[in-house]
Amino acid sequence: MAKIDYSALAAAIMENVGGSGNVHTVSHCVTRLRFVLKDRSMAKDAEIKQLTGVLGVVYGSGQYQVILGENLFPVFDEIVKNYEVETGDVVAENHTEDLALKGKKKTIKDYFMKAIQFMSASLTPFITVLFGAGMLRVILSLASYFYPAVTSSTTYMLFNFMSQAPFYFMPILVAYGASRVLKSNPAFAITVAAALLYPDFAAMVAAGDPVTMLGLPVKLVSYSSSLLPAIFSAILLAYLEKFFYRVIPGMLRSVFAPLCVFLVGYPVTILILGPAGVVVGTWIVTGIVWLQAHVGGFAPGIIAAIHPFLSHDGRQHANGRADDRIIHVGRLR
């Protein structure tokens, strides 16, 4: 295979998307250049697809995406170095072009696709982090298999902490991604997600003693490695932030708007949205069990694929049902 001239490839891509003057921002994920174009019609799909090194072109989530695979990073570097274009976060845009669904009657399919696009945009910023942590776990597993004594070393333990951290603190990472898509202040969503993982709250969950907030019972759930509670919370906090910053007078806004966001957002999250994530996770588990009854051995793969969407209790339930009715799949932790 001939060596690719990344400078020439970058130049050809820029020419065929309409030049730097047609580029609002350019960013990337793991395999794709992601352009937010001023005029989508100026991009020449056919010409770009024919370029050596380009694997395809996709338009979605308001972004013109050029699939480059292993050629991505050198091409991105060439574009940044040689063209005056603004770089942006992968999911910094609100993607109203795809999500608004203007001009037609919304169907269940439309809402479903809107939700999928929102989830995809929210997860994109830290997918590479999960890849890295997952591969680190593989390396640690291989090391412990071939040299069991290594697990007692502090070096192994410290690397293990690193490999587990992105999964344990997934609610915080998800809160950041969702808030960026919603164009809200990520600090609010991150703080509330961190409160769900706070050590003293985790101790309450472990103890199992009844806990109330504002006189209402709190469902004690471990939110580590969960996704849906953070997504639900980030959506709520985005609306609360916009509301309180609009209605509170300017001279009081900087102090009392954040206070009100937390006074309203955290109780709703801990009393309603967090447990709602558990309920939705349970629904997913019920669907898995139904699928297992019809597709047999595919159920463990389905469980693994949607593992991040399940609550802690839901994962245990899914694993237990799969163990009882098909094969042992272990705890998905």
Please check whether residues 135 and 235 belong to one and the same domain: no
Residues 6+ apart with CB under 8 A from 322: 288, 292, 299, 300, 303, 328, 329
Q: Are 316 and 205 members of one domain?
A: yes
| Number of other CB atoms surrounding residue 263 within 10 Å | 12
CB 48 within 8 A of CB 16: yes
pLDDT, greater one: 308 or 11: 11
Range of 312's domain? Answer: 172-325
Cα 193 from chain centre:
14
User: What does the angle CA 292 – CA 296 – CA 302 come to, to the nearest 5 degrees?
Assistant: 55
Closest CA to 318 of 304, 211, 250: 304
Hey, CA dihedral for 188, 197, 275, 205, is it positive or negative? negative
> Would the pLDDT of 325 be above 50?
no
Of 154-158, 283-287, 289-293, give the range with the top mean pLDDT: 154-158
Same domain, 153 and 112: yes
| Same domain as 186, residue 304 | yes
Residue 279 has pLDDT above 80, yes or no: no
Tell me, what CATH number does 39's domain have?
Answer: 3.30.1360.60
Predicted TM-score (pTM) of the model is: 0.62
Which single residue is written with the structure tokens 């065929």?
16
319 and 199 in one domain?
A: yes
Do 186 and 128 lie in one domain? The reply is: no
150 pLDDT band, cuts 50/70/90, is very high
Check residue 272 and give its pLDDT. 94
Residue 298 has pLDDT above 80, yes or no: no
Shared domain for 211 and 119, answered yes or no, is no
What is the pLDDT at residue 169? 92
7-16, 42-51, 134-143, 316-325: which range is least confident on average?
A: 316-325
| One domain for residues 147 and 281 | no
Residue from 313, 316, 274 nearest 175 by CA: 274
Reported as a single tens digit per residue, the pLDDT across 173-184 is 989 988 888 888
Residue 322: pLDDT band by 50, 70, 90 thresholds?
A: very low
Q: Are residues 82 and 138 in the same domain?
A: no
Report how far residue 75's alpha carbon sits from residue 129's, in angstroms, rounded to the nearest whole number: 21
Please state, as a whole number, how many other Cβ atoms lie within 10 Å of the Cβ of residue 125.
21
Domain total for the chain? 3
Final residue belonging to a domain, choices 168, 186, 212: 168
Query: Which residue shows structure tokens 């957002």?
Result: 265
**Per mean pLDDT, which range of 21-25, 99-103, 234-238, 252-256 is the poorest?**
99-103
Q: Which of 152, 168, 184 is the last residue of a domain?
A: 168
Is the confidence at residue 330, as pLDDT, over 60?
A: no
Q: For residue 331, is pLDDT > 50?
A: no
- pLDDT band (50, 70, 90) for residue 87: confident
Most confident segment among 16-30, 59-73, 156-170, 308-322: 156-170
Which residue, of 116, 143, 168, is where some domain finishes?
A: 168
Task: With a cut of 50, say whether residue 46 has pLDDT above it.
Answer: yes
Concerning whether 260 is annotated as a catalytic residue, the answer is no
Query: Which residue from 179, 189, 195 is spatially nearest to 258, judged by alpha carbons?
Result: 189
Per-residue tokens: 30: 């793991």
Q: What number of other Cβ atoms are within 10 A of residue 1's Cβ?
A: 4
What pLDDT score was predicted for residue 321?
46
- 218 and 244 assigned to the same domain: yes
Q: Based on the fold, state whether residues 204 and 296 are members of the same structural domain.
A: yes
What pLDDT sits at residue 300? 54
- Position 77 scores a pLDDT of 87
Q: What is the pLDDT of residues 223-239, one digit of tens each?
A: 888 888 899 999 999 99
Active-site position among 7, 20, 24, 29:
29
Own/partner pairs for 38-41, CB < 8 Å, 24+ apart? 40/64
